[in-house]
A and B are shown apart, each in its own frame.
Chain A
């Protein structure tokens, strides 16, 4: 079976983002970029399914300008077989991303689509579920374990109270949580090999979808900053402050 892995190019998770002085957006100029960490877990899971003889082909797809080819090449170095870039210079809303991915699903006909549960830039947590609705596929979101068994996949999900396992008919959508796996590092020979793997570029405009924005970003501001407080010298002083100054314990 084929596994499709949509990935997103985002700010590196170690980098602290800054808001532009005119409050129009965040400033990403000269910022280190990377594969969204959850998407990296998605690639790893797909590659492991291939190594286990369950998946036959792993296809990575990303939507963005030419720079996202860098992340697609990383996906190829991690073990994806081929890549597709849907080329656009626009920043698209999740629904439009899901509509473009729907077209790719129709073309590739994967049995599994594995995505990150959320991107660490927009923190939306939407695309996988939206793709599920558009394709009519069931979904196992926030996955910490994925087991393909016959024409079903069992997905253990991280939910508020603990873990929940659901059985989904294939084809299905899986979105990854942190504990699903620990992604490997790309080896140098695999990075070299990735340069020769196929990467198709398809202009977003060719899909015949209305990609007009669904939201308007009015402003972006820095969060209210917390003042650092005081260092207390002893537990006695801490308890006294919590009782009499902060009044949060009695």
Chain B
């Protein structure tokens, strides 16, 4: 069997999540090819060639793929698809965006957000915000799959795959990139952080999120937020952890002023250790927390920072 894995990247670095998607491909079993589609992305191709378990790296380097527009990338992947039984992408916003187009163009359905592989055609995925776990068999000849990275451990990067440069260009010509407004942060990304500290509605305003900074600095943590905090405009959308935001599973997750709605729990309940700081002893977050402290966060946060 042959498996094509779409590499997540920003044209300069390969995202760590791709290493987990390759692990999912290994669990399916077969010859694994990584596809790097981007522009001026040689450094990504170099990094991709070192990913263990990958035998080939295909590089499509063209302006049409610079922003990985779904219209163009889906045509490219569909064109390559005839050589593969499985096509995998990471369930991040890029993969979620273009992969269903690939599935439809191939006349197959997609299996989204798998967290485990039972066999080459049977996969496990959460439904209903993770309140139920479905085992689904694909009846299609080709499997188009997105992988939730919290279910798989990253492969190592000491391999050496053959790099093949593709020269065909697929430009649908129906969409163009206008602008990006990306959050610049020195902190680790939510998806890659081993410690995350998140604030909720209890933070009261965006300024108070600064109270999390010192703790995040000391722990090397990423900072996240609940939907309530994002909807209230305290912090930008890319910080949202939850069913429809980012799904994370760090070693340590500290929830501050977050009540614990099921939609938030869906995004973080696979964390190894959960700490909850909330002044309401009845908050549902305490039902999933390993360590809870009933306290006013405005007292607790400065004290925690000073004692780390």
Give A contacts to B, CB under 8 Å. 11, 13, 16-17, 19, 26, 38, 93-96, 98, 117-118, 120-134, 136-139, 141-142, 144, 154, 157-169, 172, 177-179, 213-223, 226, 228-236, 238-239, 241-242, 246, 248-249
Q: B residues within 8 A CB of A94? A: 100, 109-110
Contact mask B169-188 → A, CB, 8 Å, 1/0? Answer: 00010111111111100000
- Among B93, B113, B177, B189, max chain A CB count under 10 A is at B93
- The smallest beta-carbon distance between B138 and chain A, in angstroms, is 6
Q: B residues within 8 A CB of A231? A: 281, 286, 292-294
* A161 close to B127 (CB less than 8 A): no
Known: A130-B100, A138-B71, A246-B291. A95 touches B175 (CB 8 A): no
Give B contacts to A, CB under 8 Å. 10, 67, 69-71, 74, 92-94, 96-105, 107-113, 122, 126-140, 172, 174-183, 189, 191, 195, 219, 227, 230-231, 236-238, 243-244, 246, 251-252, 262-263, 269, 272-275, 281, 286-295, 300, 303-304, 307-308
* B291 close to A26 (CB less than 8 A): no
Q: B residues within 8 A CB of A230? A: 290-292
* B70 close to A132 (CB less than 8 A): yes
Q: A residues within 8 A CB of B174? A: 136-138, 168-169, 172
* B93 close to A123 (CB less than 8 A): no
A-B contact pairs, 27 of them (CB 8 A): A17-B132, A19-B132, A26-B127, A26-B128, A94-B109, A120-B243, A123-B243, A129-B101, A130-B101, A132-B104, A162-B238, A163-B237, A165-B178, A165-B181, A166-B175, A169-B174, A169-B175, A214-B140, A223-B130, A223-B133, A228-B286, A230-B292, A238-B291, A238-B293, A239-B304, A239-B308, A248-B273
* B133 close to A238 (CB less than 8 A): no
Q: B residues within 8 A CB of A168? A: 174-175
Number of A-B contacts defined by CB within 8 Å: 263
| 7 A-B pairs with the lowest CB-CB distances in the bound complex, closest first | A129-B100, A229-B290, A133-B104, A130-B104, A214-B109, A133-B101, A138-B174
Give complex CA distance A159, B108 in Å. Answer: 26
Q: A residues within 8 A CB of B281? A: 231
Give complex CA distance A217, B238 in Å. Answer: 33
- Among A158, A164, A169, max chain B CB count under 10 A is at A164
CB < 8 Å: which of A117, A161, A246 contacts B290?
Answer: A246
* B103 close to A126 (CB less than 8 A): yes
Q: Chain A contact residues: over half helix, strand or loop, or mixed?
A: mixed
CB < 8 Å: which of A96, A219, A236, A241 contacts B307?
Answer: A236
Q: B residues within 8 A CB of A221? A: 132-133, 135
Q: A residues within 8 A CB of B113? A: 123, 125
Extra pairs beyond A95-B103, A133-B102 (6, CB < 8 Å): A129-B98, A138-B71, A172-B174, A219-B135, A220-B134, A234-B293
* A164 close to B243 (CB less than 8 A): no
- The smallest beta-carbon distance between A239 and chain B, in angstroms, is 5
* B178 close to A167 (CB less than 8 A): yes
Known: A133-B101, A161-B238, A162-B182. A216 touches B112 (CB 8 A): no
* B97 close to A226 (CB less than 8 A): no
- The smallest beta-carbon distance between B242 and chain A, in angstroms, is 10
Q: A residues within 8 A CB of B180? A: 161-165
* A217 close to B134 (CB less than 8 A): yes
Give complex CA distance A20, B252 in Å. Answer: 33
Give complex CA distance A229, B285 in Å. Answer: 11
Q: B residues within 8 A CB of A98? A: 104
Q: A residues within 8 A CB of B252? A: 242, 246, 248-249
CB < 8 Å: which of B101, B181, B294, B303 contacts A163?
Answer: B181
* A123 close to B127 (CB less than 8 A): yes
* A218 close to B128 (CB less than 8 A): no
Known: A132-B70, A133-B101, A221-B132. A160 touches B227 (CB 8 A): no
